[in-house]
Structure 1
Amino acid sequence: MHLKGKRVVITGGSSGIGLALARAMLARGARVAIVGRRQVELDRAVAELKVLGASIGAIAADVTRGPDRQKILAYAKAEFDGMDILVNNAGAVRAGRIETISEGEIRAMVEVNLLAPILLTREALPYLRVSGHGLIVNVTSAAALTGVPFYGSYAATKAGLARFGEALRRELKGEGVHVLTVYPIATETPMMATSKAGVDLGFARESAVDVSAAIVEGIEANALEVARGGDARAKLIGLNRENPLALDESFFGIKAELEAATRDHKAL
């Protein structure tokens, strides 16, 4: 798919991967609207992106709320006369031992990471079908491919989104709407600011710019998925399939350090 002239809505677009992706898509001639909960951050992001001299808009909305999702669709209709690409990028995380994470925090992850993108996708499908070359991009996580200690609830929501996208891709085949699933590794974004897990614990990080470039490449190649992390991540996934107990032992060896590094990781 060529991005020039495409009408794009990106949730969680005021920072991190969403903002970097908006910049990359605008550079290719797309028309972009970013969605975020905080007007101040949206205004800052729009001011930054307008320097590119591109077509950029913003929608202050909480994707977990039905009226706000309708607000997003109304904007797409009024400003773009439709939608070609929906990027479900908004995310929430709370790490730590499962018994230390509150029910409210678990529900927040389910609402933001899984339920909201499913509902927004369902509501946006009429626009994407009319486009004739519609695309849904679901930004999940490497945790959706390999379970990591202290990220159980988060991994569950991201794995759910990944399988939703896979099933939906097959459901929509031949109907003019494609689904691309993205599996980023830890990325240098505000969402990762409270995590102390680094390379020594297997949490190599990359820039949001690199992730967004890979997503754009995947879009242009009509790819089914974009998985980050290179050979190291591929080997980890392979080990998890072939000898999961060996991976259990590997995590056990760093369990205490990993718990200490992730217990304060929170972005809800």
Structure 2
Amino acid sequence: MNFFRQHWNPRNKHCYITGGSSGLGLALAIILAQKGADVSIVARDQTKLDEALKELENVRQTPDQKLKAFSFSLCDPKLSSDALEAACAEHGGRTPDAILMCAGAAHPRFFIESQAKDLQLGMDNAYWVQAYTAWAAAKRMVRTQTQGKIVFVGSILSYMSFIGYSSYAPGKYALRGLAETLRSELQLYDISVQMYFPATIYSPGYEEEMITKPKITKKLEETDGGQTPEQCAQALLAGIARGDFHITGELFGHIFRSYSSGISPGNNLLLDTMYSVMGLIGLPVWRRSVDSAVRAHKVEHAQYLQSNGFHAAK
């Protein structure tokens, strides 16, 4: 139960957001700025950052509120550290109170059609882009004795996966493992760790996914209603405020969270039990339907490979 937890208030706190130029990261930055937080956003594209910063300025609450943008690539450990240091410098060297890692991207495709670079890029975009930031942040928080919070953004694919996500889901599984480990370890320093598990987010990143996403993957996701970045940002912040470790914002996510939680701390004993029972009954049925759809796609897939000359390739 959440009754005895102290709810988190972002007002006057420095919130550092990766992937903050669009999608979930930008939606999160806007809401936090509206709540009176100092917000630093980090992304690669300077043009998008400039546009995002204008949106943040439109919701500024006080003249002294610090709203900053920084252009860095976060798939490199040194640049991830440099980005964090640049944001801290704007605050007189003060370490952020909250690290919210929304950076990431997916490029779904068939495993056998992937190149080695696709597999590496998948791990960069799903795991390292957040792991390096968390590493830099944890070291800085401990060094400066900052009792802050580190928040990862995973995916429903951190709990399960299916056809098309061979270059993405492994990184999200690994990210969940990192969050589980740090939740335990960083208690030594009074640093809290949380992780968000969204399903489909209708963001610019989603449009990129659709370019390479296999037809069968699209078909399996037809029943996923999806959410806007704003809806996801609200769900994420609500979970952060409550102190939930695993944060989800829709029914399917709650079912997977409760059914797959292992020894992770739960959110609500009664609701989690109900979701687990729903998973016990419904998820095996769902998995069988997925397997059935994949097997039914065999002939069409064979024709697809033939038309693309896959069998003739070396």
- TM-score band w.r.t. shorter chain: 0.7 to 0.9
Asked whether 1:100 is paired with 2:113, we answer yes
1:222 alignment partner in structure 2:
243
CA contact (8 A) 2:30 2:55 kept: no
| Alignment of structure 1 residues 113-124 onto 2, 5 Å | 113-124=126-137
Q: Give the counterpart of 1:7 among 14, 17, 24.
A: 14
Aligned-partner Cα distance in 2 for 1:67–1:205: 35
1:164 alignment partner in structure 2:
178
Asked whether 1:74 is paired with 2:85, we answer yes
- Count of residue pairs the alignment pairs up: 259
Q: Give the counterpart of 2:47 among 35, 40, 44.
A: 40
Task: Give the CA deviation at 1:77.
Answer: 2.2
Q: Give the counterpart of 1:142 among 150, 153, 156.
A: 156
Q: Give the counterpart of 1:188 among 202, 218, 221.
A: 202
Q: Which amino acid aligns with 1:75?
A: A
Q: Percent identity?
A: 23
SS state of the match for residue 35, structure 1? strand
1:251 alignment partner in structure 2:
290
RMSD across aligned positions (CA) = 2.6
1:266 alignment partner in structure 2:
none
Q: Which amino acid aligns with 1:178?
A: S
Task: Give the CA deviation at 1:199.
Answer: 8.4
Q: Which amino acid aligns with 2:79?
A: D
Q: Which amino acid aligns with 2:41?
A: I
Aligned-partner Cα distance in 2 for 1:246–1:51: 48
1:63 alignment partner in structure 2:
74
CA contact (8 A) 1:84 1:127 kept: no
Summarize deviations over 1:54-107 as a string: whole Å, max 9, x none. Answer: 531111000012332132122122112221111121112111210112211211
Unmatched segments (≥5 aa) in structure 2: 1-7, 260-275, 305-314
CA contact (8 A) 1:34 1:57 kept: yes
Task: Give the CA deviation at 1:245.
Answer: 5.9
Aligned-partner Cα distance in 2 for 1:217–1:41: 27
Aligned-partner Cα distance in 2 for 1:151–1:157: 10
Task: Give the CA deviation at 1:223.
Answer: 1.4
SS state of the match for residue 228, structure 1? coil
Q: Give the counterpart of 2:229 among 198, 208, 217.
A: 208
The 10-residue stretch of structure 1 (123-132 or 113-122) with the greater mean CA deviation from structure 2: 123-132
Aligned-partner Cα distance in 2 for 1:35–1:243: 40
2:262 alignment partner in structure 1:
none
Task: Normalising by structure 2, report the TM-score.
Answer: 0.75
Aligned-partner Cα distance in 2 for 1:39–1:178: 31
Which structure would you say has the larger RCO, counting Cα contacts within 8 Å and 6 or more residues apart?
1
Summarize deviations over 1:208-235 as a string: whole Å, max 9, x none. Answer: 11110111111211211212331x4445
SS state of the match for residue 90, structure 2? helix
Bigger strand fraction? 1
Which has the greater radius of gyration? Answer: 2
Aligned-partner Cα distance in 2 for 1:235–1:172: 27
Unmatched segments (≥5 aa) in structure 1: 264-268
Task: Give the CA deviation at 1:151.
Answer: 0.9
SS state of the match for residue 55, structure 2? helix
Summarize deviations over 1:160-205 as a string: whole Å, max 9, x none. Answer: 1012101110111142200111000101101111427378633221
Aligned-partner Cα distance in 2 for 1:152–1:199: 15
2:263 alignment partner in structure 1:
none
2:270 alignment partner in structure 1:
none
Task: Give the CA deviation at 1:149.
Answer: 1.6
Q: Which amino acid aligns with 2:134?
A: T
